[in-house]
Amino acid sequence: MIVFLDSNILGLISNSNTSFEECQQCDRWFANLSIRGVRFVTSDICDYEVRRGLISSFIRSGKLSPGVNLLNLLKIDGFLEFLPISTECLDLAANLWAKATNEGLTTRDDKNIDVDIIISAQYQILKNEYPGQQVIVATTNLKHLSRFCIAARWQDINL
């Protein structure tokens, strides 16, 4: 099984606020599935979304969030693979976005980069690279991602 972490889930597992119960639960879920052999991936664009939030908080507060270090460790330790955004991905994302827009199913304003569409394109490419392998997006945003991917709330993904 391959689990693709959306930005909101990446944010939970890199959150340094250990008193936040959902973060603790998500950490246990991630560790449990990792031990059982689940391959976890995310996108460089998810890293960007989470990292910019952490850095923005630092600029406002003047305190560096330990979340940046946790995010860096996730990149280094090998438990989570960060997928680069390729030309193939962007071409597919543009096609998905145009199709959704023409069908009245937009997920973002026309002038915004639609991260959900880019994640969906990466999901579809990953699914094609590993036929027969179950690939699922872990998210809290089922509305947009489930249009183009098999997606579920992280709490509902188990072996």
Number of domains in the chain: 1
Helix (H, G, I), strand (E, B) or coil at 43: strand
Q: Is the pLDDT of residue 124 over 60?
A: yes
pLDDT for 77:
86
pLDDT band at 138 (very low <50, low <70, confident <90, very high): very high
pLDDT for 23:
86
Side-chain-side CA neighbours of 120 within 13 Å: the count stands at 25
DSSP codes of every residue in 103-144: TT--SS-TTS--HHHHHHHHHHHHHHHSTTS-EEEEES-HHH
Q: How far apart are CA 26 and CA 29, in angstroms?
A: 5
Question: Which CATH number fits the domain that encloses residue 78?
Answer: 3.40.50.1010
Residue 62's Cβ-count burial label (10 Å; 0-12, 13-18, 19+) is exposed
pLDDT for 155:
92
pLDDT for 105:
66
Of 22-26, 37-41, 132-136, where does mean pLDDT reach its minimum? Answer: 22-26
pLDDT for 53:
83
Question: Which is higher by pLDDT, 67 or 22?
Answer: 22
In this structure, what token pair is assigned to residue 158? 């188990």
Domain residues for 109?
A: 2-156
